[in-house]
Structure 1
Amino acid sequence: MEKIKYIFCIVFCFGAVKTTMAQSNNDWSALEKQLCSIQDTLYTLRQNYSYTNDDYCDSLQNSFSILLEELCTADKGMKYDFRELRKKERQFTMAVSTDGDMRIFSRNTYFGGSMPLFASYIQYKDKEQSYFFDINEDNDMGLCYDTVYSIQVPDKRYYLLSGTSQIATAYPLAVIKAVSCTNGELKKETIFVSGNQQNDCLAISYRFAEDNTDARLFIGSNFTFPRIVYIETQEEILKPVVLKDKDDTEYVSGEIEIYKLERNKNEIKFISNNER
């Protein structure tokens, strides 16, 4: 009799878990349907722009962010695939980092004219905790991210967000941006060196970038920070590279990876050698 009770308890618990998972999936699907509806509505409104109420559109944009955060916060394992939302006509992209701990989403807001405006969000997991970040700023709403690379140094992991921006119809940019996440805080990382400038991102124009342009990643001799150096042509690649930290301390370091600029018709973007 005891054995029968034990088996019954196992079956009951297993059924309860399946029911809970099904409910979660149903809830997430319902949220995704709302996200799809908002994106479809924004597209329709864009086609009738002269009759569109800006306040209403702003409320839809805000609702999208709130619903996406709700879904991502519930999806602690970052398993939901957004299959419906990622259909081509909705212009919603999702990229996953190589370590599987970060996902970035970009969506066309449909209100950019010849310069498409994209809104982007990050979902990040640290052990059992899940975080959501709205990373839109006034000066980078044109960015559409479709790739995430990761760099590990002994005490930290950096993420490189790679994508494109379309300033005008015939004026695309390749963009790569560096961030890190510690204790639930997303931080910009100034690891890019171009000329005498250090920044958290690198943007290169399709019009003005020479052939064989690339960015090279170096790890400092003390293995505490990465630096990505923008090198314009193959001739420059052969020159010695000396990196300076913010306090002007010099480091001579070894190259570990190349992020090559690749062109396809009017498109341009950074592709890691390891991803080819």
Structure 2
Amino acid sequence: MTTPEPVRIALYQATTGIDPARNADDLVAAVREAQAGGAGMLFTPEMSGLLDRDRARGARHVVAEGDNPVLARVRDAAREAGLWVALGSLAILRDDGRYANRSFLIDADGKVVASYDKMHMFDVDLATGESWRESNAYAPGDRIVTADSPVGRLGLAICYDLRFPALFGALGDRRCDAIALPASFTVPTGKAHWHVMLRARAIEASAFVIAAAQVGQHEDGRSTYGHSLVVDPWGEVLLDMGGERPGVGFADIDPARIGEVRGQLPSLANRRKIPTSPA
């Protein structure tokens, strides 16, 4: 069996604002920069099209998937560049009037080949005084999503999903080669947990973890941690884009590394179902 060739990927670390048209311009520019840098696939952060904690102001921009102008522009850009795009997520209006935090996998023809709605809602009160209630507007997803891509079998997750290892265990059971984890992490939680959890999830799933992130001070007043990462199946960090500025970074994904790690440490093959009934 022939081992697939290494794939160059690009990550767009963004400081997304409150104007979807300007955010779409930045996404299109990132697609073109990724293509010029020789990447076969681009990964973008959570809420790439709109980041606005003022829900009343942002509500007029939250539309159905088929009407979303940011999605349409990224699909066109992907087709023109001949590049796959893991569009981290967009706020999408569901038929029931609630929102979905939805990621999209777009192929080099501009077709949406998979989508995933974030399962776990970020409802927290931080010691810094920050309070977030994602579930006030967003409905959680209810299914695990994987799809074939240039980096192999790709599992989809979003931001706060990182804290729930059962999801990553399920993606490992599906033998994902890579897992996309677009994010908009707060600064205090990012400093405390971002690197260690991403490395742990990569090790647990014996897969690459690709985490494009929001960074810096945003128009709506929030600050995000940045440090877009690519972590290999052994837990080694291949790319860290830092926490200062937006931009496009590159990493090379070698599929042979997955087989090496799973051969040395066959935790997926050794995993047993944990009994749930009382002893």
After TM superposition, the score normalised by the length of structure 2 is 0.30
Scaled by the length of structure 1, the TM-score of the pair is 0.30
Structure with a larger share of its residues in strand: 1
Larger Rg: 1
